[in-house]
Amino acid sequence: MATPEKAAAIAELTEKFRSSGAAVLTEYRGLKVSQITELRNTVREHATYAVVKNTLTKRAAAEAGIDGLDEHLQGPTAIAFVTGDPVAVAKGLRDFAKANPALVIKGGVFDGAPLTPAEITKLADLESREVLLAKLAGAMKGNLSKAAGLFAAPLSSTARVVDALRAKVEAQGGSTAGSESAAADEAPSAEADTPAEAPAEATTDVAEGGDES
């Protein structure tokens, strides 16, 4: 390969490393072209799966500031450059390797830190971003419903109390209107009795309102 072509290939790989949140290195020895195509399609939504040359990849990784990959750049190598959900890519590679043992996961890098094959397997065991977001949304919805219930209950109780007190005040106003001819010295005792009777009657109405709900 001519030097300009090598330089272009290194620049392309360097950009892939820099623009990817993660990269998983695999050995594809023994896989057919159709199987590699199938694997590409499996991870296409979240990653680009590319066959690479080890010497050029070492230089590209160094230029991108990524360490810890040299030991994995031995033998036929293909890399999944992850631009989407790394969990989904790890799952796709793991499941494909189970069905096609010729695919070997050699290691990788996640957010600048090297990953061992065991760590990639652990990543594959995690729930996907979509599942976690769905669970979070469900949890938030449940909590919001509970919160709405907690806020609504006091307001409802307060409304019942206010309505009960209003009814009692109106009833008391009607009864006192009929006693305007009472003697002046009886008015204080009547006024003293009214506050004592109202709370008891109001409490009864609130309890009845609670039973109705």
Domain layout of the chain by residue ranges = 3-126, 132-212
| Confidence at residue 4, expressed as pLDDT on a 0 to 100 scale | 87
Q: What is the pLDDT along the chain (213 residues), one digit of tens a residue?
A: 558 889 999 999 999 999 999 999 999 999 999 999 999 999 999 999 999 999 999 999 999 999 889 989 999 999 999 999 999 999 999 999 999 999 999 999 998 889 999 999 998 888 655 555 565 566 555 555 554 554 454 444 444 544 554 555 556 554 434 443 433 343 343 344 444 444 333 333 333 334 433
For residues 89 and 52, the answer to whether their CB atoms sit within 8 Å is no
Neighbours of 160 (CB within 10 A): 19
| Confidence at residue 126, expressed as pLDDT on a 0 to 100 scale | 83
Provide the sign of the torsion angle of the four alpha carbons 71, 37, 11, 3, taken in this order: positive
C-alpha distances in Å from residue 78, one per residue of 9, 117, 143, 156, 197: 14, 15, 46, 65, 87
CATH class of the region 3-126: alpha beta
Provide the sign of the torsion angle of the four alpha carbons 53, 55, 60, 66, taken in this order: positive
Q: pTM higher than 0.75, yes or no?
A: no
| Confidence at residue 113, expressed as pLDDT on a 0 to 100 scale | 87
